[in-house]
Each structure stands twice: as C-alpha cells, then as structure tokens.
Amino acid sequence: MVILGACASWSLITAAAHDGRPEGVLLAVLAVAAGYAVGRICGALLPVAAPCAAGIAGAALTVAVPHLVTGPRITVPLGHAGATAALLVLSAGAASCGAWASPVPAVRLVLRLPAAGIAATAYVLGSTAGCVACVVVLLCSLAAGRVRRRGAALAGLGLVTGVVTGLTWAVAASGVPGGLAAPVEERLTSARVLLWGDALDLLRRDAVLGVGPGRFGELSPTAGQSAVPDGRPHSALWQQAAEQGVVGVVLLGAAFGWMLYALWRSPRPTPVVLTAAVALTGLAAVAAVGNALSFTAVSVGAGLLAGLATARPLADESPAAVPGTGRQGRRALR
C-alpha cells in the first residue's frame, strides 16, 4: 500500500508541476489495488476454484471484447495486440495456478486443460506473442513442481525483466550494435523506436519530474504525426520515464520488486507462486515493449493474479499434497 500510495502521490506531484493529467495513473493504481484485494479474498475462500474461474473469465473477456476498449481501433503494430497477449498470459497463469492448488493429481491434470485451451485461443485470435507466452507459462508451470528454492527462481525472473528493460533502453538510446539494430527495429517497427526516442528526449528535458502525466502525446513529434494518435510511447517504462521522470521509473520498478518479494513470502505452495511469477514476468516483458498497462482489464488482472498467489487459504494446503513446495513454502505453511 505504501508503494501504490507513493505512485499515486507522485503522479499528482508531477501533474501539478507541469499541468498534467494524472487520472490515467490513478485509475491504473486503483485497478491494481482492487484486483489485488479481490484476489486475496477469493484466494483465501476458494484457492482452487477462484484461479480457474479467473483464467476462464479472462479468456472469455478477450474473445468477447477483442480490442478491450471502445473508440477508434489502433492497428498493428502499435495497437491492441500487446493488451490481448498480456490478458491471455495472465489468464493462462491463473488457470495453471488453480491446477497446482488442487491436492488431487487427477483433478490437477483436468484443471490444466483450460490453460491449454487459452493458449489455443491465442493462436485462433492470431496473437502469436500471446500463444508463445501462454505455452511458456504452461511449460514453466509444469517445471515448477520440481523447484525446491523459490527465491532463486524469483531472482532469475527479476533478472529477465531487468534484461528486457535494459534492451528497451538500448534501443531508445541507439545503443544496439550495428548488426542487430536493423532486425530489432524491424521487429519493433520504426514508429515504436521513434516514440521511444522522443520519450528519451523528454526525459532529458526534466529527468526528475518528467513532462507530466498524459502530456507525452502533446510533446512527442512522432505521436503528433501518427494517423491514429493515442498519446503513448507504447512502453510502460518509457511512458513512466517521459511523464514522471526517474522517480516514476524507480516507483514502477519498486512495485514489481514488491510483487516478487510478496510471492517469495507467500504461504501458497511453490508451484503456485512460481506459475504466477512467470505469468506476471511475461506481462512485464509485454508491457516493456507495448501498451498493455494502458488497459484497465490488464491492470485488474495483474493485481488479481498477484492476490490469488499471495492469499492465505482458510483451509491449510498440505506441502505433502502439492509437490515442489520447497523449504520456504513449508516454513510459510507452518
């Protein structure tokens, strides 16, 4: 709550300094907090059913509302593909968490079917990134049953997020080696790279406060020339850096670090914790190179999955019934 409160307060401070519009940031903070609270409650009452229901609901929402928001459609590559992939990854992670939460191996196998179905849904919807990410979540979830020390695994996931973040910084600062620059730019698209370059220029203008929440679209030359402008650099990192400065980036990193710490301390079995961590790391990677966190459904889903994975079930989960709980999990369960 301290970190989320700091994020909300800093957005108000930067908005007051530069006449910005903090409503979007405040809505995102509220969405994450609400999702987390619901996840903690539902995870305590229904540790198996709640994650499975959340996974199915997320996939159903993606199919029923393909673009997740009303208004003009922003096409690929700067469109809703990232939000779709992010929501599907969170859904697959939630369904896999529900499977691991069951103490009965046969039930666990059946409950993995929705997660596999979500990956198939991503393929049918044409979300290549979402399909690949869902398959990665499924494979990592299966491997999580053999992990004994969740701390090392969580540290590795944090390192992966740091590497992706560093790559986006290198791309924006034109620091990618010559031989790799062209393939990377082709994959990300030149428009996205130019938006990140504009964000870097705005950060240099005011490294501490940024230019103010909601003002990137007004000050970015590339965003102003876009056929369907949405006022965002299509990267959570660069939007935070441009609009809220270095302090905003630190707060964003602190929120992700707190999530990893909360998962490390979670009383849930290690496979449940690591499955959720892999899905949330996938979301972080998608958000680093896309516009995923600008969609309220994704923010709520992230908070919900974190809450489900850190809830303390009213009925004890036996370490012996769920393989791979590990010493940390056994200590937490006691």
Mean pLDDT of 7-16: 95
Instruction: Count how many domains the chain has.
Output: 1
User: What percent of the chain has pLDDT above 90?
Assistant: 62
Predicted local confidence at residue 76, as pLDDT: 41
3-class DSSP string for the chain = CHHHHHHHHHHHHHHHHHCCCCHHHHHHHHHHHHHHHHHHHHHHHCCCHHHHHHHHHHHHHHHHCCCCCCCCCCCCCCCCHHHHHHHHHHHHHHHHHHHHHCCCHHHHHHHHHHHHHHHHHHHHCCCHHHHHHHHHHHHHHHHHCCCCCHHHHHHHHHHHHHHHHHHHHHHHCCCCCHHHHHHHHHHHCHHHHHHHHHHHHHHHHCCCCCCCCCCHHHHCHHHHCCCCCCCCCCCHHHHHHHHHHHHHHHHHHHHHHHHHHHHHCCCCCHHHHHHHHHHHHHHHHHHHCCCHHHCHHHHHHHHHHHHHHHCCCCCCCCCCCCCCCHHHHHHHHC
Predicted local confidence at residue 94, as pLDDT: 96
Predicted local confidence at residue 316, as pLDDT: 63
Predicted local confidence at residue 84, as pLDDT: 87
Integer Cα distance of 202 and 139 in angstroms: 40
What is the domain extent for residue 176?
2-333
Q: How confident is the model at residue 333 (pLDDT cuts 50, 70, 90)?
A: very low
Mean pLDDT of the chain: 86
Give CA torsion, residues 287, 291, 292, 293, to 10 deg. Answer: 80
Mean pLDDT of 109-121: 93
User: What percent of the chain has pLDDT above 70?
Assistant: 88
Predicted local confidence at residue 125, as pLDDT: 84
* pLDDT (tens digit per residue) in 34-92: 999 999 999 999 999 999 999 999 999 888 875 554 433 444 433 466 788 899 999 99
> Per-residue pLDDT for 97 more than 90?
yes
Mean pLDDT of 6-29: 94
Predicted local confidence at residue 329, as pLDDT: 43
Mean pLDDT of 189-211: 91
Predicted local confidence at residue 199, as pLDDT: 93
Least confident of 33-42, 167-176, 192-201, 316-325: 316-325
Predicted local confidence at residue 68, as pLDDT: 55
Integer Cα distance of 247 and 150 in angstroms: 30
* pLDDT (tens digit per residue) in 136-147: 999 999 999 898
